Amino acid sequence: MSKSAPTDIVYHKIGHSLEISWQTERFDLPAELLRVYSPSAEVRGHSEQERVLQTGKKNVGIKAIEPVGNYAIRITFDDGHDSGIYAWDYLYDLGNRQEQHWQSYLGELKQANASRLPTIPVGQWQPKQT
């Protein structure tokens, strides 16, 4: 049985979280979690082996949310990513198993010696001249 459309979707810009409510349940999904688990082929690949670990997304925000038919939303993130279509079932799973998804993500980052923090290219930084 597939999940019906949520009764409410609210983006909390300051907290970078998407609040999704169904009749009996409500989830607050961090934008970072939504971004690193984007259902797009760019992130997921076409198999588990092709999945690309997303790094540096701790402060990512959401620029836009648009409906896709009666079954999903497309989220545009402020890092430019916009190709994921988030079906209701998928959003429900992310909310329902949020802790498992976080722990898996953090474990993958640790194994890859990667960070949630964005990198700043050294060439952009200029020392102050005195």
Q: What is the pLDDT of residues 20-31, one digit of tens each?
A: 999 999 999 999
Identify the domain containing residue 95 by its residue range: 8-124
User: What pTM value is reported for the model?
Assistant: 0.89
Q: What is the pLDDT of residues 73-101, one digit of tens each?
A: 999 999 999 999 999 999 999 999 999 99
Residue 2 lies in a domain: no
Q: What is the mean pLDDT of residues 57-86?
A: 96
Residue 114: CATH number of its domain? 3.30.2020.30
Report the alpha-carbon distance of residue 6 to residue 71 in Å, rounded.
10
pLDDT band at 127 (very low <50, low <70, confident <90, very high): low
Mean pLDDT of 43-54: 86
Domain count, the chain: 1
Position 130 in a domain: no
Q: Does 73 fall in a domain?
A: yes
> CB under 8 Å to 32, separation ≥6 — which residues?
16, 57, 58, 59, 60, 116
Three-state SS string over 4-72 comes to: CCCCEEEEECCCCEEEEECCCCEEEEEHHHHHHCCCCHHHHCCCHHHCCCCCCCCCCCEEEEEEECCCE
Residue 109 falls within a domain, yes or no? yes
Residue 129 belongs to some domain of the structure: no
